[in-house]
Structure 1
Amino acid sequence: MQKDQLFTRRRLLLAGAGAAVVGAAGTAGVLMPGAGTEAAGPAPPAAGGLAAGRPLEPAAYRLRPLTGYGSPRSVPRRTRVRSAPLLRVSGRGRTMVLTFDDGPDPRYTPDILDTLAAYDVRAMFFVCGEMASYHKSLLARMSDEGHVVGNHTWSHPLLTTLSRSGIRSEMERTSDVIEDGYGERPQWFRAPYGAWNRAAFRLGAELGMEPLAWTVDTLDWTRPGTRAIVDRVKDGAAPGVVVLSHDAGGERSQSVRALREYLPGLLDSGYRVTVPRRPYT
């Protein structure tokens, strides 16, 4: 089959086709039932708020087809209500997951996507609905290039200070924007600042999402310097690790440069950087 005969996942979803998923992201193992599903305690707070002012308008991107197909929109599956977020992934060999929070931001997200594409690597992007609503073309690109998009709330609030209805609004509005731009509703969510509570876990499950935290915090939001970010990733690299970085929420050029440096090193060391599958239970 010629490349130009392939539909992108987003286009196929919008056309209402019902093809089965062929994992373009590889065979990443994730906290599957009976295989490392034990959850650890919450990770420490680590994320900045959104950049001040209205985000920049998105640029136009050429949509590239995937070598796979996506599933049509469906009712979210019943999801287990957890009491702590998932922190690690499980799978064969030296599997790691890279995650980027707070975007998408047209100043930094395209550069991160370019680097990932250069090494044929998939990642997870936990987006804020307010940012995503202005930059849906970046959500479309993430879909077309095989990345996973998760829910990071609408405006990056401290969820533990909100009412139940406030948390639901933050999550639902963001899931709606993701579905519109990405082509399907998110199956993962992450609480801003790593601040989780019972309502967040329950509402996330009701919306069909699993909570994912992180194992290695690059602290890139503090702008410690490119070398410090690179060293934290390399020092923390291990099978099952989930790395937290940011592609928005402030000046993120250090994060962009760090990814260009540590990603080839991880791959050369035998790590398989990919995205997780859902641990339906």
Structure 2
Amino acid sequence: MISIKTKNELDLMRKAGEVVALAHKKVEESIKPGVTTLELDRIVEEVIRKSGAIPSFKGYKCPYPGGIDYPSSICASVNNEVVHGIPGLRELKDGDIISIDIGAYLNGFHGDAARTFAVGKISPEAEKLIEATKQSFFEGIKNAVEGNRIIDISSAIEDYIASNGYTVVREYVGHGIGREMHEEPQIPNYRSRERGPRLQHGMTLAVEPMVNEGTYRVELLKNKWTVVTADGMLSAHYENTIAVTENEPVILTILD
């Protein structure tokens, strides 16, 4: 069942989204060669908790048998890691790219956003991948208006990515969000057979293109969380929580 949010609920979601945006700002300031992904995790958790919120990801139940509950406040996915990279003692190197996914729970609602950052000086190819992934999000949400369907968002994302010579991941998709981190509907970043529900004012969605430099195929590592590209090539990720309105969508995970 799709949850339609009231104005008051949207205001509360915006506050959760602001916490996520603040955490991303702090991450962007902190990313440099030599920093570990565990240090970035600690920085984000401090921002979230000082804001009176709770990290949405920490303790999240693994969807696969034998996997542990998620141990960290962020997902930190480096280079060929697509999503759900677990922070640790890995030091970032000049030329790396890293996707940071952050969720915060405040006043009964979640905010969720991801960004892919450059570490030091990166290659022109990596820079182009990051920018195309980000722009595909904005191309997609042009269609996130009342009366359209989910497939209108999905198709715009895939068309833009394909026109840039990349592929979109198919096994992992965007999602509804609100009182739960993952709600209905699912939001593929590609054309699927299902057109999806019609968009309504008050729907809140986490739209998140995951874009690969090579094949769209991915593999799940033994930790049951981290997803990597099947061919070892780079991947980028960009996400915001948005609200559907009568007019253009509102992004809830950016700072005014």
Q: Could you tell me the TM-score, scaled by structure 2's length?
A: 0.25
Which structure shows the higher strand fraction? 2
For CA contacts below 8 A with separation 6 or more, give which structure has more relative contact order: 1
More helix as a share of residues: 1
